[in-house]
């Protein structure tokens, strides 16, 4: 009896296992080359050779072509093609292998979505050749999609990521980023937000200058933050192309306007209109002048342009290193002291070494001078026509900077204490409020020089 039970169990197991094998491998339309075994290679080409694609869909055709300058364009639209979608086509197809071959000569291609409703794709390569195939439906597991090379290739299943985007909305093939640039590419930025104008322009690889509302150095960090917000701006929705009227959207005149000019000559000009209630994520109408199109984007862009104007000013007034200095001419109340730096130390005009550390403190505090406050350049308290001290700095490349220091006053601080303040300007004459640290060591240097002259006089006697 036990032997019969064992024999019957074995027979049932064999039959069940055999049925599973038949279900996987039986029938003319079943995969004959399952994943894990040798996977048939379908396409192979270099990504750089991809120069065009035509996607024939039931709703419309989408045709993208690479331009002579390496950019991409729609053949029948003036939209900007999505860079990520172009890269995806090349990446997914350039080395495409099948997960399985389903059937060589399908009698009913419709069962795989390869009938009249199939999407037909033609990929153009640099050498003039074209790769063509049909995109079908997802397989029952929805992790793979059916496809067939044209004109008469077998039906394959391939990974979902290789084909599913061909059924994406047409807008997915349209660029949703307003601009592609790095902050280092920008040379000017202008903004009018909440009625306040702000304009900055590049003056060096790491320096910016504010031209409106005041003319003085601009904070590099703040400028980069504003540029970063513009570069990151993305369309959530495409509203209308070539609009005839935009007044009802708050875009003419615009509620706000931002413009960026790049070193290449390209410009990004954005108008921002009415706010759209988007719940936790407010949205706003945006008009990109270069596209002549209206979009909907998140409203967070404007936050970077609404800081107090003082936050956009550069508090670093010189921004050099003391080891770059070769000489300093230090004037106090009309008296001039000139010292020069050699490889090891600072020296007085007669070539003798400056003793102590006052010379080094003057150099350090001069090159690291920072504003602790700002004043209106046109106000009465901005007069530096008769400064208390003047420092002319000479650097190893021959460049010079001129620092003017005003007279001290006491100012109550936020903690109730009194702080000593004075006005200072560097090169451009724009006044800033600074502490008195540099003026103090300037006075120390003059006192030490007077003592040196007195000692030298005694030696001569």
Contact 220, 209 (CB under 8 A): no
C-alpha count within 13 angstroms, C-beta hemisphere, residue 291? 25
Q: Nearest-CA neighbor of 227 among 276, 178, 271, 272?
A: 178
Helix (H, G, I), strand (E, B) or coil at 448: helix
Distance CA 273, CA 373 (A): 34
What are the start-end ranges of the E strands in 104-255? 119-125, 130-138, 144-149, 155-159, 186-193, 196-204, 207-212, 216-218, 235-241
Helix (H, G, I), strand (E, B) or coil at 7: helix
Distance CA 297, CA 285 (A): 7
pLDDT of residue 158: 95
Contact 372, 444 (CB under 8 A): no
Q: Nearest-CA neighbor of 260 among 236, 295, 224?
A: 224
Which H, E and C letters describe 406-435, residue by residue? CCCEEEECCCCCEEEEEEEEECCCCCEEEE
Helix (H, G, I), strand (E, B) or coil at 24: helix
- Helix (H), strand (E) at residue 329: strand 325-332
DSSP 255-320: SEEEEEEETTS-EEEEEEEEEE--TTS-EEEEEETTTTEEEEEEGGGGGGG-S-GGGGB--BSS--
Contact 201, 211 (CB under 8 A): yes
Tokens 């509203």, residue? Answer: 239
Contact 256, 272 (CB under 8 A): yes
Q: Nearest-CA neighbor of 135 among 150, 147, 153, 143?
A: 147
Q: Nearest-CA neighbor of 93 among 47, 26, 51?
A: 47
pTM for the whole structure: 0.72
Domain chopping of the chain, boundaries: 47-173, 183-312, 322-460
| Orientation of helix 437-460 relative to helix 358-367, angle to 10° | 150
Q: What are the structure tokens assigned to 255, written together?
A: 């509620």
Q: Mind listing the pLDDT tens digit of every residue in the chain (461 residues)?
A: 443 444 344 434 433 334 433 333 333 444 443 444 568 899 999 999 999 999 999 889 999 999 988 889 999 888 999 999 999 999 999 999 999 999 998 888 999 999 888 999 999 999 999 999 999 999 988 899 999 999 989 999 999 999 999 999 999 999 999 999 999 999 999 999 999 999 999 998 888 999 998 888 899 999 999 999 999 999 999 999 999 999 999 999 999 999 999 999 999 999 999 999 867 788 999 999 999 999 999 988 999 999 998 889 888 889 899 999 999 999 999 999 999 999 889 999 999 999 999 999 999 999 999 998 887 666 666 778 889 999 999 999 899 999 999 999 988 877 778 889 999 999 878 888 999 999 999 999 999 999 999 998 888 87
Distance CA 185, CA 335 (A): 46
Tokens 């989408």, residue? Answer: 62
Distance CA 185, CA 109 (A): 52
Q: Nearest-CA neighbor of 451 among 389, 459, 345?
A: 459
Residue 169, classified by CB atoms within 10 Å of its CB into exposed (0-12), middle (13-18) or buried (19+), is exposed
Distance CA 446, CA 331 (A): 9
pLDDT of residue 101: 92
DSSP 44-109: ---GGGEEEEEEE-SS-EEEEEE-TTS-EEESS--SPBPHHHHHHHHHHHTT-B-SEEEESS-S-G
Q: What are the structure tokens assigned to 43, written together?
A: 């396409």
């Amino acid at each position: 009896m036990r032997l019969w039970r064992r024999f019957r169990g074995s027979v049932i197991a064999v039959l069940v296992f055999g049925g599973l094998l038949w279900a996987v491998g039986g029938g003319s339309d079943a995969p004959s080359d399952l994943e894990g075994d040798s996977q048939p290679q379908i396409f192979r080409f270099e990504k750089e050779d991809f120069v065009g694609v035509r996607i024939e869909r039931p709703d419309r055709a989408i045709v993208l072509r690479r331009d002579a300058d390496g950019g991409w364009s729609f053949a029948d639209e003036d939209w900007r093609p999505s860079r990520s979608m172009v890269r995806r086509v090349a990446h997914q197809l350039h080395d495409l292998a099948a997960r399985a071959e389903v059937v060589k000569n399908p009698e009913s291609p419709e069962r795989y979505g390869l009938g009249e409703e199939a999407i037909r794709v033609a990929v153009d390569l640099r050498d003039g050749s074209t790769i063509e195939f049909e995109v079908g439906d997802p397989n029952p597991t929805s992790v793979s999609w059916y496809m067939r090379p044209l004109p008469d290739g077998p039906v394959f299943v391939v990974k979902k990521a290789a084909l599913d985007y061909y059924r994406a909305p047409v807008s997915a093939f349209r660029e949703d980023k307003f601009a592609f640039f790095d902050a280092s590419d920008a040379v000017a930025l202008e903004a009018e937000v909440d009625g306040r104008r702000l304009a900055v322009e590049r003056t060096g690889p790491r320096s910016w200058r504010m031209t409106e509302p005041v003319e003085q150095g601009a904070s590099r960090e703040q400028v980069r933050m504003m540029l970063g917000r513009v570069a990151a701006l993305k369309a959530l929705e495409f509203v209308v192309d070539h609009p005839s009227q935009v007044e009802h959207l708050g875009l003419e005149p615009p509620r706000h306007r931002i413009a960026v000019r790049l070193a290449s000559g390209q410009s990004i000009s954005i108008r921002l209109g009415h706010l759209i209630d988007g719940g936790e994520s407010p949205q706003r109408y945006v008009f990109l002048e270069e596209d002549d199109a209206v979009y909907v984007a998140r409203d967070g862009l404007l936050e970077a342009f609404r800081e107090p104007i003082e936050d956009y000013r550069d508090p670093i007034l010189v921004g050099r290193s003391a080891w770059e200095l070769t000489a300093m001419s230090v004037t106090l109340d009309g008296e001039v002291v000139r010292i020069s730096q050699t490889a090891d130390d600072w020296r007085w005009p007669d070539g003798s070494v400056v003793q102590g550390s006052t010379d080094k403190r003057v150099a350090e505090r001069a090159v690291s001078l920072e504003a602790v406050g700002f004043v209106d350049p046109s106000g009465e308290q901005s007069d530096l026509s008769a400064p208390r001290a003047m420092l002319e700095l000479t650097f190893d490349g021959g460049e010079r900077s001129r620092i003017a220091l005003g007279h001290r006053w006491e100012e109550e601080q936020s903690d109730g204490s009194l702080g000593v303040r004075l006005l200072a300007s560097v090169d451009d004459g724009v006044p800033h409020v600074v502490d008195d640290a540099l003026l103090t060591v300037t006075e120390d240097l003059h006192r030490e020089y007077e003592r040196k002259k007195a000692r030298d006089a005694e030696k001569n006697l």
